[in-house]
Chain A
């Protein structure tokens, strides 16, 4: 067998390894309930901001507290150990990576999806005021 063939076989083995490890490394999107069942285990939860609940950033403790509602409709208090992300109120969707504790879900990383300005077309002036 040629040595290049051996190299290619090794290559394929590593590629398969990469797939397996990635699938292993990949977390899953879950709801708060599942995160609460396994406290301390890291999960990614997608939800949106509960605008009815108070939102609070304590600059001295550097802790941002808010309430999120996940896709199953479950409400959960969330701690975020970072300053309040800019424009947080306007977010449509929040992706939270973190773990559940007894008192709250602790988000270590937050990604927000904001309504892009492309969606604001419908608010064209005159649409509401001028109707025939």
Chain B
């Protein structure tokens, strides 16, 4: 079939590019291998061209996907799912990497860029390092192949058309050649998650993925050294790459934190979420690796450790990828990817590189022996080694706790080898759990960072050590005391220790730079980066340990409940909020955003507010309302606020009522609504003509049945047929039941209800016993038993002429005092028009509506509301937190990144 209106070409180019990237990477591996074997430079030429072709393929993938997104070709599944017509062009980047496929491509792209640089600069390491690069790229490219050989799924392609996806294949709509025109559904995509429509999403993922990609270079160089058996000279060219990785990965992680703080409502910049953890851990080990490389470069010791950490970092990157993309974290993280069915492939990827690299490492381990002179307690390298070990433990602790879902998969009750009886859940208080471990590690690291500056490689004379450290120590004590006094840290020894350690580390590194580096920029790398890291610790400590939730409300919910951290603010009312008096001034709608304006006054009598914040809710069909914080920045503290609830979000209730609730129950059931028992006693039904209490009787000739106090018996059934004069065919028949009705007073009456059928219609001739208000309908004859079906109803005199169908619920409402009220809400139908007869209990301020009957269960659906106070105003519920000294954290972040890059530059020059 020829489909109409599809744009096949760009997708084909995309798929072709993927195949090219995949195949060329394989060729590059073989080429480099043959070159190493034969030293025939033609093979190297081949390999280089293959990697160049691979890169062309990768750039082709990127360009095709951008082309599809920019042109809104919604017949493509990826374009449909991640963009829409109204998406601003600047968010096309965000749409590009919102999905898993797109982020794999981003990763491929950075690897290709770094690979090209490495190819031209790696010199004698080129062959093996590029083999590793190409192998990694082949695996990554296979993730977006989207082919199904032998029924296996290999990769998930972003260039697949919607009609070709697994879910849609063979569905009826795919049979229409003109489906794109025929179904309006394909006119527009489902759009980008509104949470991701901000500039952070544009810059954070590429930075983070460059960070991930950068860890491959030290890994590839280390592997090249292991392959060649030339174990020492790889260190020098690796150092700048390692620091580049520390800097860029650190920047990516910190951007994630800044994004969470600025635009998401997690209530902070770090929450120890598994996804956050799994990018932090490789950063920690990379920092360790970089320092071990320096130790080896300066003192020729600790080679095995340098190898191990460099390799481990990349393995952890792969492990993180597995964690966040295999669906394993589903229960424990708020923002892991959904499983694309690639977990098997990811696992192979992880195991392949883990086994090869660790295997090689063990194979070469004996040759890595270095002289023992790095063992002096007064040497800098010894303590750098210890610091790296601490970093490793810290990383280990984080990754172990994060891996609990994996442990469940392995040894949980439903795991591979069921050892555990209960499934392990992540720690209940994750932040406390991680902090209790990471705080002591941070103290040790900061202290080592401080003391290390006063030590020399080799041996340090005590005189030199003490002279240097005395000033730094003393001045740090003063600064620590100042902070401790300001932010009341005296009573927490652990916090106080970290405070001191962080201050000491910054001061020492400043000292080192001024004294030893003479304040020269070319000497600044380590000092600036260390100072930055120490300031991050300091800022994180103060802003987190002394954060103050100022939106405490007065409502107490009992001793065991956590204190209430959300304040209710009615329109125009003044609510105390920390040192401020806050007023909710009003709401404004701008497109899909609802801004809530809250003013903060220093004093209630002030005319103009100190400042005004406008946190907003972003409304979207897919995601519902999403709170977006607004923060007032002061130099020494931030006031961070977000809306947690708003009266605008309440379901629309009838005028003057609120708190809509839905109750579903059946006859005899009791429900609880606002301290009232609501009991459904019975249902009443009334059909047109005022008929009610209808019963169905089935009678054979000579039988009788009772309805209320009446005995009804069937004498006989007579059939009157009308034939067509000419054809003698049956044209119509009147079927009459001859009934006797015996009243309680002994009086007998004869009635003859009937129905007339022809080939199209059925008409009832009902009878009415006016004296008894009894209506009888001869409904039908049951074919098998020949019994007649009779419907007997009581007619309500006053509704004789009504055309309404009424369904009413007899409900009792009992309050806490035991007082009972009977109500009868009803649904009234008249000629396709439905009306609700609501009932309200004025005294209790309740209103009830009989909404519907559940066709499946027969339950009735009742809606209940409570009355609004006359003077009730719109309100918001807001959370407001003061983060003191959070700017130290941001300054530290910037310094650390700058410092890392200075270090790269320094090492490139060296």
Task: Spell out A's residues near B (CB within 8 Å).
Answer: 2-4, 7-8, 11, 14-15, 18-19, 21-23, 25-30, 40, 42, 44, 46, 52, 54-63, 81-84, 86-87, 90, 93, 95, 97, 99, 101, 106, 108-109, 111, 113, 116-118, 120-122, 124-127, 130-132
Contacts and interface: CB of A to CB of B under 8 A. Distances in A.
A119 B67 CA distance: 26
A124 B332 CA distance: 31
Contacts of B647: 59
A75 B875 CA distance: 32
B190 A117 contact: yes
A60 B382 contact: no
Given A3-B377, A54-B673, A83-B644, A25 B561 contact: no
30 contacts: A2-B372, A4-B302, A7-B389, A26-B425, A27-B427, A28-B423, A29-B424, A44-B428, A56-B661, A62-B557, A81-B557, A81-B564, A82-B644, A83-B644, A84-B645, A86-B623, A93-B331, A95-B331, A97-B428, A101-B560, A109-B428, A111-B332, A118-B81, A121-B165, A121-B168, A124-B168, A124-B173, A124-B183, A126-B176, A126-B185
Contacts of B843: none
Given A15-B396, A59-B568, A86 B626 contact: yes
Q: How large is the interface on B (under 10, 10 to 19, 20 to 34, 35 or more residues)?
A: 35 or more
B590 interface: no
Nearest to B182: A126
Contacts of B661: 54-56
The 5 closest A-B pairs by CB, nearest first: A125-B185, A83-B645, A87-B624, A28-B422, A44-B425
B458 to A, nearest CB: 15
B566 interface: yes
Contact of A130 (B173, B427, B662, B864): B173
A118 B338 contact: yes
Contact of A83 (B165, B404, B877): B877
B640 interface: no
Contact of A15 (B190, B393, B422, B622): B393
A127 B334 contact: no
A100 to B, nearest CB: 11
Given A54-B662, A124-B183, 4 more contacts: A8-B389, A27-B427, A117-B622, A127-B172
Given A4-B382, A11-B393, A106-B561, A26 B566 contact: no
A116 to B, nearest CB: 5
Interface string B386-405: 10010011001100110010
B562 to A, nearest CB: 6
Contacts of B568: 59-60, 62
| Residue among B185, B382, B425, B564 facing the most chain A CB atoms (10 A cut-off) | B425
A109 B183 CA distance: 43
A26 B433 CA distance: 9
B659 A131 contact: no
B588 to A, nearest CB: 20
B626 A127 contact: no
A42 B190 contact: no
B625 interface: yes
A124 B171 contact: yes
Interface in B156-215: 162, 165, 167-168, 171-173, 175-176, 179, 182-185, 190
A26 B561 contact: no
Interface string B307-334: 0000000000000000000000011101
B486 interface: no
B767 interface: no
B593 interface: no
Contacts of B829: none
Contacts of A83: 566, 644-645, 877
A86 B627 CA distance: 9
A111 B424 contact: no
Contact of B659 (A11, A46, A56, A111): A56
A132 B179 CA distance: 14
Given A52-B664, A121-B168, A126-B173, A116 B645 contact: no
Nearest to B331: A95
B424 A23 contact: yes
B663 interface: yes
B385 interface: yes
Q: Which of A25, A42, A106 is packed against the most chain B CB atoms within 10 Å?
A: A25
A59 B650 CA distance: 10
Interface string B656-689: 0001011110000001110000000000000000
Contacts of A108: 562
Contacts of B672: 54
A124 to B, nearest CB: 6
Interface in B615-669: 622-627, 644-645, 647, 659, 661-664
A101 B525 CA distance: 57
Contacts of B183: 124-126
Nearest to B80: A121
Contacts of B330: 113
Contact of B424 (A14, A18, A26, A42): A26
Given A62-B564, A124-B185, A126-B179, A29 B553 contact: no
A114 B555 CA distance: 31
A29 B392 CA distance: 30
Contact of A27 (B338, B377, B401, B425): B425
A86 B624 contact: yes
Nearest to A87: B624
Contacts of B375: 2-4
Given A86-B626, A117-B622, A127 B644 contact: no
Contacts of B404: 22, 26
Nearest to B424: A26
Contacts of A63: 557
A27 B556 CA distance: 28
A4 B427 contact: no
Nearest to B553: A62
B363 interface: no
B437 interface: yes
B237 interface: no
Contact of B396 (A18, A26, A90, A130): A18
B875 A59 contact: yes
B257 interface: no
B468 interface: no
Contacts of B393: 11, 14-15, 18
B377 A122 contact: no
Contacts of A30: 422
B427 A62 contact: no
A44 B426 CA distance: 9
Contact of B425 (A29, A54, A121, A124): A29
A52 B666 CA distance: 12
Contacts of B182: 126, 130
A29 B422 contact: yes
Given A59-B875, A60-B568, A130-B173, A28 B424 contact: yes
B530 to A, nearest CB: 21
Interface in B551-581: 553, 555, 557, 560-562, 564, 566, 568
B884 to A, nearest CB: 24
A108 B563 CA distance: 11
Nearest to A23: B424
Contacts of A3: 375, 377, 382
